[in-house]
Amino acid sequence: MTRLRPARPGEAAALSALALRSKGHWGYDDAFLEACRAELTLRDDELAARRTLVAELDGAVAGFGTLEGAPPYGELGMLFVDPGAIGRGLGGALLAALVTAARDEGFARLAIDADPYAEAFYLAHGAVRVGEVVSGSVPGRVLPQLELELGVTRG
């Protein structure tokens, strides 16, 4: 059974480790993952501000995502699913819940700097590629930059 809930104080280290495991699922080597460690590390004091949403599968933490920024234009900062839970709908459930939260807060669009392996997932969920962005972790690496229009009109 899947359950979505806000992250709890004290979960940052476990969520950061999950992000690294998830990134590693795509075959990146240890040096690459180490280069990504700082960017994929959450701190307990920022979980609430980053609107961190956790997915539990059968009572165990199996994924999380963050909604960042201020309306009308925000960012899907992170979205990771534990490798053992990939393909079970958690990513889609997290994305849908974060989009709903963004709409409720008045966001009109979310930017997504995607891992190349995740681009197809976001495109399948309505995002469009708008360009490229330089990686914050690996010099010379370029990532797909996507946007997700939320269908919210500002008056």
The two tokens of residue 111 are: 């930017």
The residue among 130, 122, 144 whose CA lies nearest residue 65 is: 122
Tell me the fold of 2-149: Aminopeptidase (3.40.630)
User: CA–CA distance from 153 to each of 81, 107, 109, 148 (Å)?
Assistant: 31, 9, 10, 14
Checking if the pLDDT of 153 tops 80, the result is: no
Q: Residues 51, 103: contact at Cβ < 8 Å?
A: no
The alpha carbon torsion through 12, 48, 46, 99 (nearest 10 deg) reads 90
Instruction: Measure the CA–CA gap between 29 and 103, rounded to whole angstroms.
Output: 37
The two tokens of residue 96 are: 């849908």
pTM over 0.95: no
Q: Model confidence over 30-84: pLDDT tens digits?
A: 998 999 999 999 999 999 999 999 999 999 999 999 999 999 999 999 999 999 9
Q: Which sequence spans correspond to the domains of the chain?
A: 2-149
Q: Residues 121, 20: contact at Cβ < 8 Å?
A: no
Q: Residues 21, 82: contact at Cβ < 8 Å?
A: yes
Confidence band, pLDDT 50/70/90 cuts, at residue 88: very high
